């Protein structure tokens, strides 16, 4: 039995906008994931940022929803070669969450409910580049797409936008996440076509 969904081969649409190399446009929103969709009770949901000294900053669901929200409209690019333009999200900027975090760490390991991990430089989480999102297209984010909340880092391949996000561990050194440990690129810039290690 495989734990990885097979690649998506859906409808293609055309655009005059430039896409990253090797990408095609889709009107669908394919569901690709490793493992089953976890069941997450909002009463017990927690999001934690743990700094390199072990200090933890924790938000409940109610606390996360009470923070100032943003509504980014972004393009997303999956490593399996589909791109979806002008997706509309709602959530909290990581700049807001990091206001209370004192860190000099350069690296982050993102953790999800269900055990998934991915590594991202801290610089790619800040400066208006990343959000914890809980809304999509004006509705609550569905579990199949990472609800109740996922990380959104649209300038990197979409596997970096971890579904069912639970934590950010700040680190002084980098460590590979789930897909990166299986041969995917450590950074994942779609415009440089960094799909696999060595690209």
Question: Distance (Å, rounded) from C-alpha 115 to C-alpha 102?
Answer: 26
The region that residue 170 occupies, defined by phi over 0 for left and psi between -120 and 50 for alpha, beta otherwise, is beta
pLDDT-derived band at 5 (thresholds 50, 70, 90) equals very low
Question: Distance (Å, rounded) from C-alpha 190 to C-alpha 78?
Answer: 8
Cα torsion 165, 168, 169, 174 to 10°: value is 90
Question: Distance (Å, rounded) from C-alpha 107 to C-alpha 121?
Answer: 4
pLDDT in the model for residue 14:
54
pLDDT-derived band at 7 (thresholds 50, 70, 90) equals very low
DSSP secondary structure, 86-138, as one string: EEEEEEEEHHHHGGG------EEEEEETTS-EEEEEGGGTSSS--EEEEEETT
Q: What is the mean pLDDT of residues 72-89?
A: 97
The H or E element that residue 166 is part of is strand 165-171
pLDDT in the model for residue 15:
55
Beta carbons of 149 and 47 less than 8 angstroms apart? yes
**Domains of the chain, CATH where assigned:** 24-29+47-192 (3.90.420.10)
Which of 128, 134, 129, 184 is closest to 155 using CA atoms?
Answer: 129
Which of 130, 196, 93 is closest to 187 using CA atoms?
Answer: 196
pLDDT at 54 over 70: yes
Helix or strand or coil: residue 192? Answer: helix
pLDDT in the model for residue 1:
34
Which residues are registered as beta bridge partners of 58? 48
pLDDT in the model for residue 33:
72
pLDDT at 86 over 60: yes
pLDDT per residue over 125-172, tens digit each? Answer: 999 999 999 999 999 999 999 999 999 999 999 999 999 999 999 999
pLDDT per residue over 103-116, tens digit each? Answer: 999 999 999 999 99
Spell out the SS3 assignment of 173-184: CCCCCHHHHCCE
pLDDT at 16 over 90: no
pLDDT in the model for residue 35:
75
pLDDT in the model for residue 51:
97
CA angle, residues 102, 96, 109, in degrees to nearest 5: 60
């Amino acid at each position: 039995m495989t734990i990885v969904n097979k690649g998506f081969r859906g409808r293609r649409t055309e655009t005059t906008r430039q896409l990253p190399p090797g990408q095609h446009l889709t009107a669908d929103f394919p569901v690709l994931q490793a493992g089953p969709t976890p069941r997450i009770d909002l009463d017990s949901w927690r999001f934690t940022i743990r700094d390199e000294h072990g200090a933890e900053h924790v938000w409940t669901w109610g606390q996360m929803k009470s923070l100032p929200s943003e509504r980014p409209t972004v393009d997303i690019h999956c490593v399996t070669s589909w791109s979806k333009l002008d997706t509309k999200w709602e959530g909290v900027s990581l700049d807001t969450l990091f206001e209370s975090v004192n860190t000099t760490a350069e690296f982050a390991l993102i953790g999800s409910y269900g055990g998934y991990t991915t590594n991202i430089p801290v610089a790619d989480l800040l400066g208006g580049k990343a959000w914890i999102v809980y809304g999509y297209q004006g509705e609550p984010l569905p579990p199949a797409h990472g609800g109740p909340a996922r990380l959104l880092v649209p300038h990197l391949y979409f596997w970096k936008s971890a579904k069912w996000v639970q934590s950010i561990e700040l680190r002084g050194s980098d460590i590979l996440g789930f897909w990166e440990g299986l041969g995917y690129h450590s950074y994942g810039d779609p415009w440089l076509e960094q799909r696999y290690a060595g690209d």
